[in-house]
Structure formats: C-alpha cells, structure tokens
Amino acid sequence: MDPLAHLLDGPRAHRAFALRVVMAPGWSIDVRDEAPLTVIAMMTGSAVLASDGVLHDLEPGDVALVRGPAPYSVSDDASRAPDAVIHPGQLCTTPTGEHLDVTLSHGVRTWGNSPLGQTSMLIGTYTSDAEVSRAVTAALPRVAVARSGQIDPALVALLGREITSDASGQGSTVDRLLDVLLVHTIRVWASEHPESARGWLAGRSDPLVARALELFHGDPGAAWTLDVLARRLNVSRATVASRFRATVGESPISYLTNWRMLLASEMLARPEATTSQIATEVGYGSPFALSTAFKRRFLQSPTEYRRRVYPASVPVRRRDVG
C-alpha cells in the first residue's frame, strides 16, 4: 500500500469546509485559517496565490494544493491590500474585524464580492489533522499546482455542482470528491516535478526504493530490520540503505519509525482502538513500548494526544495506557 492509498483508507475529509467563491475585479483574501491542507480549483478568471513571498498565477483548470498552517493570500493583484481575512473556524472578517460571513454570502455555499463576478473557484479545506494524513502533506511543498488539462475537468465540475447543491448526501459526496481531486492533483504534481518531491513521493522515482516503501506501507507491523528488508528486495544492506537515503532523505528504519508513529497518531481517531491494538498494528510489542516511542515523537502519551487532537474519540469506559 502506498501513502495515497492510505489517504483514502484512513482518516479523510469529514464534513470538509467547501465553498464556491465568486469575485469581481478588485479583491484580495488573506487566509489565516491554520488549516493543514486546502484545495483550490480555478473555474473561471484568474488569481494570484501568494505564499512565503512566492507568487503562483492560477488560470482556469488549474488546481492548487496549499499546505498549512502558515498564512497565504489569494487575490487578483498581489499588490492589493486584503479586503477579507479568513480566521480559524472559517470565520471571515474585514481587516479591522467586522464580520463578512453574511454580507458576502450568495446562495448555497457560494461566497464572494459579487454573485456575477468574472472569477470563480472551488475551495475545499481539510480543517484538521484527523482528516488528511500528515505523511501525505509532509511530502508536499508549501504550494503544489497541477496545471489546466492535467486534471479531468469533469471531476472538478462534478465537485462544483455538489458544493452548490442541497441534495441529500451532499456533504458526504463533497468529502469523497475532494479526496479524489486531492489524490489526482498529488499524482500529477509528483509526475511533473520529480526533482521537488520529498519523502515517499521522491521514493517513487527509484524502483528499488518504491518497492521498499510498498513493503513498509503494506505491513508496518512486521518485524522489519535492514537485513530483513534487504533480503526481501534481494539486494545488499548497503545498496538499499544508500539508495533509500539518497532518494527519501533518511534511512529505511528511520522512515519506518516515523511512518509507524503517524499511523498510530491517526488510529487514535478511532474510538474503538485501544493502545494495545494500535501497538500490535504498528509493530510494537506492548502498549508501553508504543507509549515510549510515541512520547519521543509527539512529546505526549497516546492518551494525552487522543484527548487533545481527537476529543470526540475518547471512550467513556476504557482503561487506556498513557
């Protein structure tokens, strides 16, 4: 299993914030929502996405992924001062603090400074780490753009229709379409920018490393060592170690440890999962061994992490290990 498959099998969009934005000339939005990941699909017109001092021109058909939580802006002119500020929880105000949520609302999940504006885009925001795998987002740059013609326009159009629909099941349909659009955009960006890919995305460029990643992701709970991995790949320890580090940027066992910790952190979102079950699934012999490794990675126990990040998943009756 590769991390993109994991994205769809594990925590994913759940009632994601999705909106159709329509703007007339003369606009600038300062986004400070601290969301881990946002998908922006340009429908009509053009825009400039500014992040960390870098400008990205967006045209119809382009799809951009923006990795948080740092702020960024979207406008029709990068030199224009912001007219609106998006805060955590998707609260929208003017730069001086006046609320704009109702003022700029134009129908079902449609927002902007004019209902007939020339520029329109779809915004889909993963609002918490529980919704999108951090292994996926960590492999992306701050902004990744798939250009027009590389993403099926029918997928984007369907997402747009669902966002502005009030039909039964609309929320779940938007979530799944957003997931699919995310995966397609990552695929396109990775194939177009192999030199910029990081982590597991970079590993896909080397067949040997790609196979090692498939083994790790397919069975993270196995008793992996460098010797075992080398035997499975039918190469020497030195070969797999050097090629893995050169491509992914860390040793195979370091990558595996980080991957196991990410899996464990996401499994805590499942109310029925005990630390004992999670320990077994990610390759630790006991809840105590898992807790020790988890504290080293996240500076808090699994129980503390669950209560902070996934409060809704904390069981009412369970003696958990922390």
Write phi, then psi, for 259 (nearest 5 degrees).
Answer: -65, -45
Question: What pTM was computed for the model?
Answer: 0.79
CA atoms within 13 Å, Cβ hemisphere of 15: 1
Determine how many CB atoms are found less than 10 A away from the CB of residue 114.
Answer: 15
CB 125 within 8 A of CB 17: yes
CB 280 within 8 A of CB 240: no
Q: Kindly state which CATH superfamily the domain 206-313 is placed in.
A: Homeodomain-like (1.10.10.60)
Q: Domain 3-192: which CATH class? A: mainly beta
pLDDT at 319 (0 to 100): 47
The neighbouring-strand residues paired with 22 are 112, 120
Tell me the pLDDT tens digit for each residue of 107-144: 678 888 988 899 999 999 987 765 556 667 777 889 99
Determine how many CB atoms are found less than 10 A away from the CB of residue 296.
Answer: 10
Rg of the chain (C-alpha set): 21
Tell me the pLDDT tens digit for each residue of 304-314: 998 887 787 77
The neighbouring-strand residues paired with 64 are 40, 145
Tell me the pLDDT tens digit for each residue of 138-186: 778 899 999 999 999 999 999 999 998 888 888 788 888 998 899 899 8
pLDDT at 311 (0 to 100): 81
Angstrom distance (rounded) from CA 46 to CA 246: 39
**Could you check whether 3-192 and 206-313 share the same CATH topology?**
no
Q: Domain residues of the chain, as ranges? A: 3-192, 206-313
Angstrom distance (rounded) from CA 113 to CA 103: 9
Under-50 pLDDT residues of the chain: 318-319, 321
